[in-house]
Protein backbone atom coordinates (compact mmCIF):
# COMPACT_ATOMS: atom_id res chain seq x y z
CA UNK A 1 0.00 0.00 0.00
CA UNK A 2 1.36 3.43 -0.96
CA UNK A 3 -0.32 6.27 0.96
CA UNK A 4 0.01 9.78 -0.52
CA UNK A 5 -1.06 13.31 0.32
CA UNK A 6 -0.09 16.99 0.26
CA UNK A 7 0.53 19.31 3.18
CA UNK A 8 1.41 22.95 3.83
CA UNK A 9 4.11 24.10 6.24
CA UNK A 10 4.43 27.73 7.33
CA UNK A 11 7.71 29.45 8.10
CA UNK A 12 6.43 30.62 11.48
CA UNK A 13 4.48 27.55 12.55
CA UNK A 14 1.09 26.06 11.75
CA UNK A 15 -2.02 28.07 10.91
CA UNK A 16 -3.74 26.81 14.03
CA UNK A 17 -3.32 28.27 17.50
CA UNK A 18 -0.67 26.82 19.78
CA UNK A 19 -0.70 26.39 23.53
CA UNK A 20 2.10 27.32 25.87
CA UNK A 21 2.45 25.90 29.37
CA UNK A 22 4.07 28.50 31.54
CA UNK A 23 4.46 29.51 35.16
CA UNK A 24 2.30 32.33 36.55
CA UNK A 25 3.45 35.88 35.68
CA UNK A 26 5.74 34.72 32.84
CA UNK A 27 3.36 35.35 29.92
CA UNK A 28 5.62 37.98 28.36
CA UNK A 29 8.92 36.13 28.79
CA UNK A 30 10.60 35.78 25.40
CA UNK A 31 10.59 31.95 25.57
CA UNK A 32 6.78 31.99 25.93
CA UNK A 33 6.13 34.17 22.86
CA UNK A 34 5.68 33.01 19.30
CA UNK A 35 7.08 35.33 16.62
CA UNK A 36 4.60 36.66 14.11
CA UNK A 37 4.91 38.38 10.79
CA UNK A 38 2.37 40.10 8.55
CA UNK A 39 0.84 37.85 5.91
CA UNK A 40 2.12 34.68 7.62
CA UNK A 41 5.73 34.95 6.49
CA UNK A 42 5.35 32.39 3.72
CA UNK A 43 4.84 28.69 3.41
CA UNK A 44 5.88 25.60 1.50
CA UNK A 45 3.57 22.98 0.00
CA UNK A 46 4.78 19.38 -0.23
CA UNK A 47 3.60 16.05 -1.60
CA UNK A 48 4.82 12.80 -0.11
CA UNK A 49 4.24 9.09 -0.02
CA UNK A 50 4.73 6.39 2.57
CA UNK A 51 4.29 2.68 3.07
CA UNK A 52 4.99 0.27 5.90
CA UNK A 53 8.60 0.13 4.70
CA UNK A 54 9.30 3.88 4.94
CA UNK A 55 8.79 7.17 3.14
CA UNK A 56 9.14 7.93 -0.56
CA UNK A 57 10.24 11.21 -2.06
CA UNK A 58 9.27 14.57 -0.60
CA UNK A 59 8.22 16.84 -3.46
CA UNK A 60 8.06 20.61 -3.13
CA UNK A 61 5.03 22.05 -4.91
CA UNK A 62 4.92 25.43 -6.56
CA UNK A 63 2.27 27.77 -5.12
CA UNK A 64 -0.73 26.78 -7.22
CA UNK A 65 -1.22 23.06 -7.52
CA UNK A 66 -3.71 22.04 -10.17
CA UNK A 67 -4.37 18.76 -11.98
CA UNK A 68 -1.42 19.32 -14.36
CA UNK A 69 1.07 19.89 -11.55
CA UNK A 70 -0.36 16.87 -9.75
CA UNK A 71 -0.03 14.75 -12.89
CA UNK A 72 3.65 15.72 -13.16
CA UNK A 73 4.20 14.76 -9.51
CA UNK A 74 2.63 11.35 -10.10
CA UNK A 75 4.56 10.75 -13.33
CA UNK A 76 7.88 11.69 -11.76
CA UNK A 77 7.49 10.04 -8.36
CA UNK A 78 4.89 7.32 -8.04
CA UNK A 79 6.72 4.43 -9.69
CA UNK A 80 10.10 5.43 -8.26
CA UNK A 81 8.61 5.62 -4.76
CA UNK A 82 7.00 2.19 -5.17
CA UNK A 83 10.37 0.78 -6.29
CA UNK A 84 12.29 2.57 -3.50
CA UNK A 85 9.89 1.17 -0.92
CA UNK A 86 10.15 -2.31 -2.49
CA UNK A 87 6.41 -2.68 -3.04
CA UNK A 88 6.75 -5.02 -6.02
CA UNK A 89 4.32 -4.98 -8.94
CA UNK A 90 1.03 -5.46 -7.10
CA UNK A 91 0.84 -2.42 -4.82
CA UNK A 92 -2.21 -0.31 -4.02
CA UNK A 93 -2.16 3.46 -4.51
CA UNK A 94 -4.14 5.53 -1.99
CA UNK A 95 -5.24 9.14 -2.35
CA UNK A 96 -8.18 11.18 -1.12
CA UNK A 97 -10.92 12.60 -3.33
CA UNK A 98 -9.53 16.11 -3.65
CA UNK A 99 -10.87 17.60 -6.93
CA UNK A 100 -7.43 17.70 -8.54
CA UNK A 101 -7.02 13.99 -7.71
CA UNK A 102 -10.28 13.10 -9.43
CA UNK A 103 -9.76 15.10 -12.63
CA UNK A 104 -10.28 13.08 -15.82
CA UNK A 105 -6.63 13.37 -16.84
CA UNK A 106 -5.52 11.97 -13.45
CA UNK A 107 -8.01 9.10 -13.52
CA UNK A 108 -6.90 8.17 -17.04
CA UNK A 109 -3.21 8.21 -16.15
CA UNK A 110 -3.77 6.16 -13.00
CA UNK A 111 -5.84 3.61 -14.91
CA UNK A 112 -2.85 2.75 -17.11
CA UNK A 113 -0.01 3.25 -14.62
CA UNK A 114 -1.11 2.00 -11.22
CA UNK A 115 -1.88 -1.66 -10.46
CA UNK A 116 -4.69 -0.96 -7.94
CA UNK A 117 -6.28 2.11 -6.36
CA UNK A 118 -7.99 2.90 -3.08
CA UNK A 119 -9.66 6.30 -2.95
CA UNK A 120 -10.55 7.50 0.52
CA UNK A 121 -13.14 10.22 1.11
CA UNK A 122 -12.00 13.86 1.18
CA UNK A 123 -11.50 15.38 4.60
CA UNK A 124 -10.95 11.97 6.19
CA UNK A 125 -7.57 12.21 7.89
CA UNK A 126 -8.48 9.28 10.15
CA UNK A 127 -8.14 6.95 7.16
CA UNK A 128 -4.75 8.11 5.90
CA UNK A 129 -1.78 7.41 8.15
CA UNK A 130 0.39 9.92 6.26
CA UNK A 131 -1.47 12.63 8.22
CA UNK A 132 0.53 11.48 11.26
CA UNK A 133 3.72 11.91 9.24
CA UNK A 134 2.78 15.54 8.54
CA UNK A 135 2.16 16.15 12.25
CA UNK A 136 5.45 14.48 13.18
CA UNK A 137 7.30 16.51 10.53
CA UNK A 138 5.77 19.76 11.83
CA UNK A 139 6.98 19.00 15.35
CA UNK A 140 10.47 18.06 14.14
CA UNK A 141 11.03 21.14 11.97
CA UNK A 142 10.04 23.43 14.84
CA UNK A 143 13.29 22.35 16.53
CA UNK A 144 15.13 24.22 13.74
CA UNK A 145 15.64 27.97 13.51
CA UNK A 146 13.66 28.84 10.39
CA UNK A 147 13.39 32.39 9.05
CA UNK A 148 12.88 31.90 5.30
CA UNK A 149 11.48 29.47 2.74
CA UNK A 150 14.88 27.98 1.84
CA UNK A 151 15.57 27.11 5.48
CA UNK A 152 12.08 25.64 5.77
CA UNK A 153 12.65 23.45 2.71
CA UNK A 154 16.03 22.33 4.00
CA UNK A 155 14.58 21.48 7.42
CA UNK A 156 11.67 19.59 5.87
CA UNK A 157 13.99 17.56 3.63
CA UNK A 158 16.37 16.82 6.50
CA UNK A 159 13.64 15.67 8.88
CA UNK A 160 11.80 13.72 6.14
CA UNK A 161 14.96 11.70 5.48
CA UNK A 162 15.18 10.81 9.19
CA UNK A 163 11.68 9.29 9.46
CA UNK A 164 12.27 5.69 10.51
CA UNK A 165 10.58 2.76 8.80
CA UNK A 166 9.57 1.51 12.26
CA UNK A 167 7.34 4.60 12.57
CA UNK A 168 5.64 4.12 9.19
CA UNK A 169 5.24 0.39 9.83
CA UNK A 170 3.42 1.16 13.09
CA UNK A 171 1.14 3.64 11.32
CA UNK A 172 0.22 1.20 8.55
CA UNK A 173 -0.36 -1.63 11.02
CA UNK A 174 -2.94 0.62 12.75
CA UNK A 175 -5.16 0.61 9.61
CA UNK A 176 -7.33 -2.30 10.75
CA UNK A 177 -8.15 -0.44 13.97
CA UNK A 178 -8.61 2.86 12.08
CA UNK A 179 -11.16 1.31 9.74
CA UNK A 180 -13.03 -0.33 12.61
CA UNK A 181 -13.10 2.98 14.52
CA UNK A 182 -14.41 4.84 11.45
CA UNK A 183 -17.17 2.24 10.99
CA UNK A 184 -18.07 2.31 14.70
CA UNK A 185 -18.21 6.14 14.57
CA UNK A 186 -20.44 5.92 11.45
CA UNK A 187 -17.95 8.10 9.55
CA UNK A 188 -17.53 10.57 12.37
CA UNK A 189 -14.26 11.54 14.03
CA UNK A 190 -12.12 8.93 15.74
CA UNK A 191 -9.11 9.01 18.05
CA UNK A 192 -6.88 8.63 14.99
Question: Which pLDDT tens digit goes with each residue over 117-128?
Answer: 987 766 666 678
Mutual orientation of helices 165-173 and 175-184 as an angle, nearest 10°? 40
| Assigned fold of 2-12+36-184 | Nucleotidyltransferase; domain 5 (3.30.420)
Give the pLDDT mean for 174-179.
Answer: 84
Tell me, what's the pLDDT at 184? 84
The count of other CB atoms within 10 Å of the CB of residue 27 is 10
| Angle of CA points 62, 43, 68, to nearest 5° | 20
Instruction: Show me where the domains of the chain are located.
Output: 2-12+36-184
Per-residue model confidence as pLDDT tens digits over 65-113: 899 999 999 999 999 999 999 999 889 999 988 889 999 999 999 999 9
Residues forming beta bridges with residue 175, ordered by sequence position = none
Distance CA 141, CA 135 (A): 10
pTM here?
0.81
Distance CA 77, CA 59 (A): 8
Amino acid sequence: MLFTDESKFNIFGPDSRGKVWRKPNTALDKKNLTPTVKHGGGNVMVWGSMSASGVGNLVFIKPNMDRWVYLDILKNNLKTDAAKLELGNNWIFQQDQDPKHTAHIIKSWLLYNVPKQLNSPPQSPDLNPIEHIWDYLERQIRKHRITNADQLKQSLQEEWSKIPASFTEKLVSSMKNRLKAAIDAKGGPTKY
